Structure formats: structure tokens, C-alpha cells
């Protein structure tokens, strides 16, 4: 709809570009992907707001800045095969599908995977595969990957993910450091990974297993009366340029 397209242009201009994200391909993708289709119908009027929104099963869609920042850190050029761990609503995967040749996205909550897959197919994004799968193990059947993005916080760097990353590839993952969470961008060099960039963040925990959730929980966390914190991305405070780098 026209009003959503106008709102997306304003979102990209005021929340993404104004915050220092300048990659033209990222900005274009975020302007084109209809974010409102990835949130519940009752919340579509809020889809472009600078906040996380609930999507059911106690999960959220990250705020636009989070998606823009994480996407830009992968520095995709169009030829890559990308693994996304934590499909959620499917919105981040849709952005990646606009920027990479192939995307494999895994989600441990099966109904969320089904819903995201349906939305992505309706949008004609056929270069992304969504699977109900334990993301802590990565996805060896499609490895190696040029880039890996994890949208949940791990207690340490998962070795399975490192082993599935190509030489010279980026792994973007939040890791618990003491009482803090840090979003790290790792670069693989041989059998080692080195930290290239980092920023403070706040994510839901990275959990193992696959859950076939009770449909009665589909609206869990959906009350608009509850305050919505950013539980799937960096803090609401937009980091300054200096805070983006380790």
C-alpha cells in the first residue's frame, strides 16, 4: 500500500541513513521489503516505528536500526551464500535475500519457521530456504557459508558455526561477556577467527533444540499493554560512530 511505502522511505531516511548506515544496497533493500507484512496485522500501523515488536511465541522482530546495522556489517556484494540462525518473523532473512545469492535460515520454533516461509514465498523470494532446525549446530548440509548471522546471544563462540564459515567470511554473533552482551563481527582466517568490530547489544538467548509450540501460545507476548524492549537487537540508544568499532 502507498502509505506503507511512504513510511518505509521515512524509516530508512530517519532511522537507518541518519544513524550512519550508508551502504546503498542495504538502504535500497530496506526501502523495498514490506516490513509491515512480517508483523501481526494488529501492529502493522507500528511496523516502521523505531522499536522491536512482538510476533508471538514470546519473540520479537528487531527494530529497523538493528536490522540495518547487522546487515551492513556482513558487507554482502551479491554472490554470497549466507546462513541466518534465528529466522523469527523472516524480515531479516528477506533483507539478506535481496543482497545475497542464497540464504539458508533456521528457526527452532517450528510455527515461526512455517509462518516466515509462507510470507517469504508470497513475496516471491525464492533464494531463501527456511528450516525448523537447531541453529546451535549451524547447517552442515549447506556449508560452507560466505557469511553467518546469528540473531540470538550465545554464551561463547559456537565451534560448529566457525567450522561452517568459509575462509575470509564474516560471522556476526552476540556473545555474553560477564554481565554484558556484545555483538561481535568475526573474520575467519584459516582455523582462527579474529574480532573485527563490536557493539553493545541485548538479544534473546541462543537455545538448542526444535520446538513444536502449542498454537495457543501464538499470541504470547502480544499485549500492547506490555512495554516492548529491544530483546532481539542492540539497545535503543543508537551507538555513536566510535562505539561501532572494537
Give the length of the chain.
Answer: 246
**pLDDT at residue number 223:** 53
pLDDT, tens digit, 9 for 90 and up, residues 111-162? 999 999 999 999 999 999 999 999 999 999 999 999 999 999 999 999 999 9
The model's pLDDT over 187-237, given as tens digits with 9 standing for 90+, comes to 999 888 999 888 888 887 888 888 776 565 566 555 543 334 343 333 333
Angstrom distance (rounded) from CA 56 to CA 78: 32
Give the integer Cα–Cα distance in Å for 2 and 200: 36
Phi, psi of 159 (to 5 degrees): -65, -30
Cβ contacts of 189 within 8 Å, gap of 6 or more:
167, 168
Distance CA 204, CA 224 (A): 19
Provide the pairing of β-strand 180-189 with 165-177: antiparallel
- The predicted structure's pLDDT at residue 218: 62
CA distance 53 to 55: 7
At which residue does the C-alpha cell 500492547 appear? 224
Cell 535481496 sits on residue: 98
Is the confidence at residue 50, as pLDDT, over 50? yes
Confidence (pLDDT) at 89 = 97
Please tell me the predicted confidence (pLDDT) of residue 63: 95
Cα of first residue to Cα of last residue in the chain, in angstroms, is 41
Q: How far apart are CA 167 and CA 189, in angstroms?
A: 6
* Among candidate residues 223, 230, 221, 224, the one with its CA nearest the CA of residue 67: 230
At residue 69, the pLDDT reads: 96
Report the predicted TM-score, pTM, of the whole model to 2 decimal places.
0.86
Predicted local confidence at residue 213, as pLDDT: 62
Task: Select from 49, 67, 60 the least CA-distant residue to 8.
Answer: 49
pLDDT of residue 225: 37
Residue 189: what pLDDT?
93
Whether 62 is a known active-site residue: answer: yes
Q: Which of 51, 62, 200, 240 is catalytic?
A: 62
Read off the pLDDT of residues 82-113 as tens digits, 9 standing for 90 and up: 999 999 999 999 999 999 999 999 999 999 99
Architecture of the domain whose range is 52-212+219-233 = 3-Layer(aba) Sandwich (3.40)
Average pLDDT over residues 1-30: 95
- To which H or E segment does residue 92 belong? helix 91-99
How do beta strands 128-132 and 102-107 pair?
A: parallel
pLDDT, position 211: 73
Amino acid at each position: 500500500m502507498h502509505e506503507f511505502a511512504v513510511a518505509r522511505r521515512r524509516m530508512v531516511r530517519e532511522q537507518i541513513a541518519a544513524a550512519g548506515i550508508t551502504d546503498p544496497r542495504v538502504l535500497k533493500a530496506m526501502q523495498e521489503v514490506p516490513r509491515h507484512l512480517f508483523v501481526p496485522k494488529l501492529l502493522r500501523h507500528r511496523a516502521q516505528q523505531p522499536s522491536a515488536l512482538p510476533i508471538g511465541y514470546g519473540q520479537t522482530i528487531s527494530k529497523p536500526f538493528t536490522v540495518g546495522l547487522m546487515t551492513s556489517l556482513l558487507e554482502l556484494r551479491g554472490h554470497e551464500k549466507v546462513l541466518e540462525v534465528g529466522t523469527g518473523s523472516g524480515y531479516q532473512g528477506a533483507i539478506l535475500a535481496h543482497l545475497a545469492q542464497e540464504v539458508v535460515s533456521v528457526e527452532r520454533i517450528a510455527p515461526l519457521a512455517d509462518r516466515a516461509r509462507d510470507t517469504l514465498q508470497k513475496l516471491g523470494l525464492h533464494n531463501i530456504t527456511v528450516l525448523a532446525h537447531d541453529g546451535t549446530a549451524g547447517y552442515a548440509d549447506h556449508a560452507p557459508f560466505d557469511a553467518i548471522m546469528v540473531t540470538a546471544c550465545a554464551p561463547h563462540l559456537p565451534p560448529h558455526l566457525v567450522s561452517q564459515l568459509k575462509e575470509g567470511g564474516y560471522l556476526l554473533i552476540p556473545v555474553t561477556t560477564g554481565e554484558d552482551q556484545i555483538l561481535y563481527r568475526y573474520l575467519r582466517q584459516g582455523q582462527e577467527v579474529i574480532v573485527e568490530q563490536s557493539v553493545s547489544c541485548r538479544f534473546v538467548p541462543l537455545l538448542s533444540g526444535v520446538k513444536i509450540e502449542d498454537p495457543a501460545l501464538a499470541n504470547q507476548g502480544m499485549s500492547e499493554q506490555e512495554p516492548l524492549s529491544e530483546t532481539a537487537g542492540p539497545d535503543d540508544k543508537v551507538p555513536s560512530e566510535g562505539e561501532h568499532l572494537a
